[in-house]
Amino acid sequence: MRKWWILPALAVALTAVIPAGAQEETGNNNLRVRAGVFFPQKSETRDAAGKAWFTAGVEYAFQPLISPGYEGKFTLSVDFMGNKDMQNIPVQINLVSAYDRFTWSVGAGIGFAKNTAGDAKTGMTYSVGISAALGNTSVPLEVGVVWRGMTNVSNQLDGLAVHLQLRF
C-alpha cells in the first residue's frame, strides 16, 4: 500500500516548525511558501499516476499594483506537482489581492511537465485560487485552494490543489 500522504504531511510539518523562530511578520509579506496535495481532474491521469500528488511552491511579490479602490501585487511563482510517474512545474506571473482575511489570485505562465511515458512537455499554465488566514496565529498561515491547468497535455494536468501557505 502506498503511503502517499507521508511526504505532504512532512512538508506541512516542516513548514509549520522551521519558521517558528521568526514569530514576527516583516510587514511586506512578499514571500510565500506552500505545500499540500494536488488532485488531478482526469480519471485517466488518476488511474495512471495516482489520485493525490504532492505539491509545493514558492511565490514572490515583485510589483505592487495600486489604483483607486484596488490594491494588489504582481507575483512570480514556481510550483511543483507530481508523483513518481507524472509531474508539472508551472512558472507563472500572478495577480494577487487581499480582502480582510481572504486572498485571491489569478495567474498564467509556462509549465514544464513529464507524462507517464517519460516524455517532456511544455505548455501554457493557468491558475485561479483563494486562500484564507488561519485564526490569530503568531506565524502568518493560510489555507488555500487553487485550480490549476495546462494546455498541450490533453488536460492531463488539470486539477485542484489544496495547500498550507506561510507568508514572510
The CATH code of the domain that includes 117 is 2.40.160.20
More confidently predicted of 160 and 23: 160
Mean predicted lDDT score pLDDT of the chain = 85
**35 domain-assigned:** yes
Specify the higher pLDDT residue, 121 or 135: 121
> How many Å apart are CA 132 and CA 27, to the nearest integer?
18
Phi-psi region of 115 (alpha: psi -120 to 50; beta: other; left: phi over 0): beta
Contact 124, 108 (CB under 8 A): yes
Task: Give the chain as a 3 state SS string.
Answer: CCCCCHHHHHHHHHHHHHHHHCCCCCCCCCEEEEEEEEEECCHHHHHHHCCCEEEEEEEEEEEEEEECCEEEEEEEEEEEEECCCCEEEEEEEEEEEEECCEEEEEEEEEEEEECCCCCEEEEEEEEEEEEEECCCCCCCEEEEEEEEEECCCCCCCCEEEEEEEEEC
Is residue 120 one of the residues assigned to a domain?
yes
Q: Which residue has the higher pLDDT, 103 or 136?
A: 103
Domain assignment of residue 112, yes or no: yes
- At 3 the pLDDT is 53
pLDDT of 127-149, one tens digit each? 999 999 998 777 789 999 999 99
In a domain, 136, yes or no: yes
Residue position matching grid coordinates 509531474: 87
Of 61-70, 74-83, 123-132, least confident by mean pLDDT is 61-70
Number of domains in the chain: 1
Point out the least confidently predicted range of 24-28, 53-57, 150-154: 24-28
pLDDT value at residue 125: 97
- Indicate whether 41 belongs to any domain: yes
Q: Taking 80 as the threshold, does the pLDDT of residue 25 lie above it?
A: no
Residue 6: the pLDDT is 54
The answer to the question of residue 25 being in a domain is no
Q: Which residues pair with residue 22 across a beta bridge?
A: none
User: Cα 56 to chain center, whole Å?
Assistant: 6
Residue 131: what residue type?
S
Per-residue pLDDT, 80:
97
Residues of the domain holding 11: 6-20+30-167
Tell me, yes or no, whether 1 lies in a domain: no
* Burial (Cβ within 10 Å: 0-12, 13-18, ≥19) of residue 7: middle
pLDDT of 139 reads: 79
Give yes or no for residue 85 having a pLDDT over 70.
Answer: yes
Instruction: For residue 132, tell me if it sits in a domain.
Output: yes
> Does residue 124 or residue 167 have the better pLDDT?
124
